[in-house]
Amino acid sequence: MRHAKRINHLGRTSAHREAMLSNMAASLIMHKRINTTLAKAKELKKFVEPLITRSKNDTTHSRRIVFAYLHNKFAVTELFREVSQKVADRPGGYTRILKTGFRKGDNAEMCMIELVDFNETYTVEEKKKTTKTRRSSKKTAPKAEVEAPVAEETAAPEAETPAAE
């Protein structure tokens, strides 16, 4: 039975698991979506969402705590500059897991985990409604027809004479 076993160890030692989750979180922050197995994605979600919540408060202390988990200064910079700006008004649920099928070799269930606010397919942008204005049919005076000048027939291009050397 699995009573009171909240952590999926993923068949790894604790150091290996922490390093793997740190690398996957940094990749998720940098690339905004990654493909992985479902079990890893569920553990990654528990790992990265508190870090994103922490990034909403941009202080030196918050940056140091996040860096202690990620070990990647470029990912920390991206998290505090780009990601935290987009998720500022979201109260949680920063990631989405989409199942993609099964891996061919070992039949592991695969999925894509992505940051919710960075997917243009699902985010709804409100388009401003433009009212179509139609002209009322006003009776106008008939326009005077102006004849266009007839284009002169173009003659065949003359053969160019070679320049004197």
51-101 pLDDT, tens digit per residue, is 999 999 999 999 999 999 999 999 999 999 999 999 999 999 999 999 999
Over residues 7-35, the pLDDT tens digits come to: 999 999 999 999 999 999 999 999 999 99
Side by side, which strands form the sheet with 33-37?
33-37, 109-115, 95-102
What confidence category does residue 146 fall into, taking pLDDT thresholds of 50, 70 and 90?
Answer: low
Looking at residue 57, what DSSP letter applies? S
Residue 155: pLDDT over 60:
no
- Describe the crossing of helices 14-31 and 38-55 by its angle, rounded to 10 degrees: 70
Judge whether residue 136 has pLDDT over 90.
Answer: no
Which tokens belong to 86? 């987009």
pLDDT score at 132: 72
Residue 149 clears pLDDT 70, i.e. is over it: no
| Buried-exposed string 75-96: b where 16+ CB fall within 10 A, e elsewhere | bbebbbebbbeebeeeeeebbb
Q: Read off the pTM.
A: 0.71
Angle at 68 between CA 56 and CA 58, to 5 degrees: 20
The per-residue pLDDT for 55 is: 95
- Among 65-69, 70-74, 113-117, 150-154, where is mean pLDDT lowest? 150-154
Q: Helix 60-70 to helix 38-55 angle, to the nearest 10 degrees?
A: 160
113 in helix, strand or coil? Answer: strand
